[in-house]
Amino acid sequence: MFAITKDVNNMGIRRILWLLPLAVCCVFALQSCIKDDDEKAVEYVKVGDTVPSFSVKLGDGSTIGFTQDDFVGKRSIIVLFTTGCPHCKTLLPVVDAAWREIDGNDGYAIIPVAREGSKASVEGFWSSTDPAMTMPYYLDPDKSAYNKFANLYVPRLYSVNEQGIIDWMRVGEEGVTKEFMLEEILGYSLH
């Protein structure tokens, strides 16, 4: 009886040791929103560059274009995201909280752009948060806007200064809080 138990325990340990690498691979695969695929990442804009012109769609299907002139005279943050990305799902309620703070102030703008997003997927995500997000969003169904900034990875944040120049950028949500977005990136005083 003891020998059978020992063999069963060894089989269990072997099975666990065999499954452990598979489990680790699955964890990394779930974070694919940060790392889209094996393609080499390219940053098309960097800190110090002029914000590129880009077009996005509104929920009603109409198209709106942004140029450097749209950013002149205000502090702005462009947020590129997907609704299926867990990192984006962590970041976007923080972005919405910052947007609620500056809503109605013409000196500031937050522009969330859904890479390959549909109206239904964004609205579903917006309403699933607690509280429901209320900031406006823009759709980039064909990645044409996203591809002006980079070829891989979300979420992406770009700070654009009053001259239309990118002065800060980040890939990922780590360390981004409402206070950081407002005070450090936008220079907006919470006090």
Q: Which two tokens stand for residue 61?
A: 């299907």
What confidence score (pLDDT) does residue 17 get?
47
Give pLDDT tens digits for 96-155: 999 999 999 999 999 999 999 899 999 999 999 888 999 999 999 999 999 999 999 999
Report which residue type is found at 166: I
Report the length, in residues, of the chain: 191
Say if residues 45 and 51 touch (Cβ distance below 8 Å): yes
Q: Name the pLDDT band for 189 (thresholds 50, 70, 90).
A: confident
What confidence score (pLDDT) does residue 36 get?
52
**172, 156, 137, 101: CA torsion to nearest 10:** 70
CA-angle at 42, arms to 41 and 45, nearest 5°: 140
Q: Name the pLDDT band for 73 (thresholds 50, 70, 90).
A: very high
Give pLDDT tens digits for 146-163: 999 999 999 999 999 999
What's the whole-number mean pLDDT along residues 177-190?
89
**Confidence check: pLDDT of 30 > 50:** no
Residue with tokens 């976007």: 92
State the average pLDDT for the chain.
84
- DSSP conformational letter for 147: G
Closest CA to 179 of 72, 102, 109: 102
Q: How far is CA 121 from CA 83, 88, 116, 183, in A?
A: 7, 13, 10, 31
- DSSP conformational letter for 133: P
What confidence score (pLDDT) does residue 42 get?
85
Weakest-pLDDT range from 13-22, 46-55, 111-120, 175-184? 13-22
**Confidence check: pLDDT of 94 > 90:** yes
Q: Which two tokens stand for residue 3?
A: 């020998």
What confidence score (pLDDT) does residue 130 get?
87
**Confidence check: pLDDT of 3 > 80:** no
What's the whole-number mean pLDDT along residues 58-85?
94
What confidence score (pLDDT) does residue 160 get?
97
Q: How far is CA 62 from CA 55, 118, 145, in A?
A: 10, 13, 15
CA distance 133 to 110: 13
**Model pTM score:** 0.80
Q: How many Å from the N-terminal Cα to the C-terminal Cα in the chain?
A: 73
